[in-house]
Chains A and B, each alone.
Chain A
């Protein structure tokens, strides 16, 4: 695939799928304020996805609604981390923490992309992601240093989630071209920055960051290989849209 399309699909699909998952916290949060916070982040992520699908449309791909609501799982390029069910709050919080740290650094780097339309979107998106990271850090620090129960849950969630989080940085065949053309700094460089960034926050808690080199990353998502959870998510998302594909909803 053309390196620009390859990169944009990965970015957009991550945002759409995690935004969708975050929205599932409506009515289920541990306190009302968290229902509201997860909804805000979901709305931001949907907005980011829409901007990125719009860039794809400008490059000749289908309309954003068509791209988002009519593809099947093998055509999606999100990492598997984003598609896992929301589980309990500890998992959703740790996923949000691990993903958004990478996302903020990613969009900070993309603000300098050689593809100017993407750089423009990134300059706006990174400003919003700053708040997502602030939210994640606040809660991870708080729960990661509170009761034994909370620390135990957070540590278990961290250990479960990390292999999936390493899958964020899975590369595709387009990676050398992406780096060479200055589209993006590349996944390896991003991962190095991310490790430093999450390490700094976790060091302020009672949580322990395992040695990442001992973990096996869960990849596949970038190549269209997904967990059993993605297709049902997509079926649900398109349930109404597909009732009448000719309709304007």
Chain B
């Protein structure tokens, strides 16, 4: 998990500020990207590039830690040793991804403390799907399989982007996500082919999550602005619509194959190979992403409590008189 394209588009009113950049440096920068070179932290970059990447990596990091919460609540309730241990390891990976991503974002000049503070103060966003609840074990399985699957589509594309530290983090993250996908698929298959109680739970969870999954890649490209410059700079590597189509093409047949149905009567692949579907409710999406979803307040409250309760530990770590202890690694 859990990065998605849904939150990092530039607001429509933002100015690019490109007229203030040195035209020669800008031309060299664009030429390097066109040649497929990676931009590294000490290299020159336009302000808009720095700002946009910081925002994107930061939001991806936030999505990892906030995203660990809905599945994390099922660690203590996972049925049986095998699932319990796997669920722990899976969620732990996501927190590890956050750690990697905050480090990548820090190379652009913003500290982890500042990013976490912006998160709990509502200044920065995270993937909107985590503002929805996971009332059953099956919901957690749907996230493990399909939200992670969506994230892989997105991150495999972004791993070919232009910013070196982010690409390297994404390469490592995608390798772990591939395991999560197998884990989630295995758990869903067990339920979908299990007892009547299990099958019902899984179908209901899928019905609940499908609308959110359809919004995972963000609004249609027709509604996005500035996509062109971000794609030229290889910040954004695939359009929202292209990612959504790829996801549907890869996973809808797999979902149908195990006997589950999807709650969209219009969902089908047309003769040109393009998936048709009922347009998601983007007004609802906007309402939820701006704070009015079923779990926004709860997610942020948990994060804020963790920050506040742990503040004494971080203060102690910064104490210069603290006895130096050899680190573990």
Which residues of A does B touch, CB under 8 Å? 20, 23-24, 26-36, 39-40, 42-43, 46-47, 49-50, 64-65, 68-69, 88-89, 131, 134-135, 138, 141-143, 145-147, 149-150, 153, 204-205, 233, 236-237, 239-241, 243-244, 246-249
Contacts and interface: CB of A to CB of B under 8 A. Distances in A.
Contacts of B311: 30
B319 A248 contact: no
B323 A142 contact: yes
B92 A146 contact: no
Contacts of A89: 309-310, 313
7 contacts: A28-B309, A35-B95, A49-B81, A138-B326, A138-B327, A142-B325, A236-B76
Given A30-B313, A32-B98, 5 more contacts: A20-B76, A26-B75, A26-B91, A141-B323, A249-B137
Given A39-B92, A237-B76, A241-B79, A27 B316 contact: no
A46 B198 contact: no
A34 B98 CA distance: 13
B69 interface: yes
B85 A150 contact: no
B296 interface: no
Interface of B: 65, 68-69, 72, 74-81, 83-85, 88-89, 91-92, 95-96, 98-99, 102, 137, 187, 190-191, 194-195, 197-198, 201, 302-303, 305-306, 309-317, 319, 321-323, 325-328
Contacts, number: 159
Contacts of B191: 249
Nearest to B75: A23
Contacts of B323: 141-142, 145-146, 204-205
The dominant DSSP class at the B interface is helix
A233 B76 CA distance: 8
A50 B86 CA distance: 13
A204 B197 CA distance: 56
A214 to B, nearest CB: 28
Nearest to A246: B195
A47 B89 CA distance: 12
B81 A243 contact: no
A153 to B, nearest CB: 6
A65 B78 CA distance: 11
A27 B69 contact: yes
Contact of B79 (A28, A29, A69, A143): A69
B306 A28 contact: yes
A69 B84 CA distance: 11
Most buried by B among A138, A153, A243: A243
Given A134-B328, A243-B197, A69 B315 contact: no
A205 B325 CA distance: 11
Nearest to A241: B79
B72 to A, nearest CB: 4
Given A89-B309, A247-B197, A26 B316 contact: no
B302 A149 contact: no
A249 B316 contact: no
B190 A249 contact: yes
A27 B99 contact: no
A187 B88 CA distance: 32
A134 B328 CA distance: 8
A37 to B, nearest CB: 9
A161 to B, nearest CB: 17
Nearest to A143: B316
Given A30-B313, A150-B316, A240 B306 contact: no
B80 A69 contact: yes
A42 B80 contact: no
Give me the 8 closest cross-chain CB pairs, A-B, nearest first: A30-B310, A146-B316, A30-B313, A150-B316, A39-B92, A249-B79, A241-B79, A26-B72
Given A31-B310, A31-B313, A36-B92, A240 B77 contact: yes
Most buried by A among B88, B191, B328: B88
Contacts of A147: 312, 315-316, 319, 322
A91 to B, nearest CB: 11
A248 B198 CA distance: 9
A43 B82 CA distance: 11
A12 B195 CA distance: 30
A24 B74 CA distance: 10
A46 B77 contact: no
A247 B194 contact: yes
Given A36-B96, A142-B323, A240 B315 contact: no
A78 to B, nearest CB: 16
A43 B99 CA distance: 19
Contact of A236 (B77, B305, B319, B325): B77
Contact of B317 (A146, A241, A244, A248): A146
A240 B137 contact: yes
Contacts of A143: 313, 316
Contact of A31 (B89, B314, B319): B314
Contacts of A240: 74, 77-79, 137
A39 B314 contact: no
Given A23-B76, A146-B319, A30 B92 contact: no
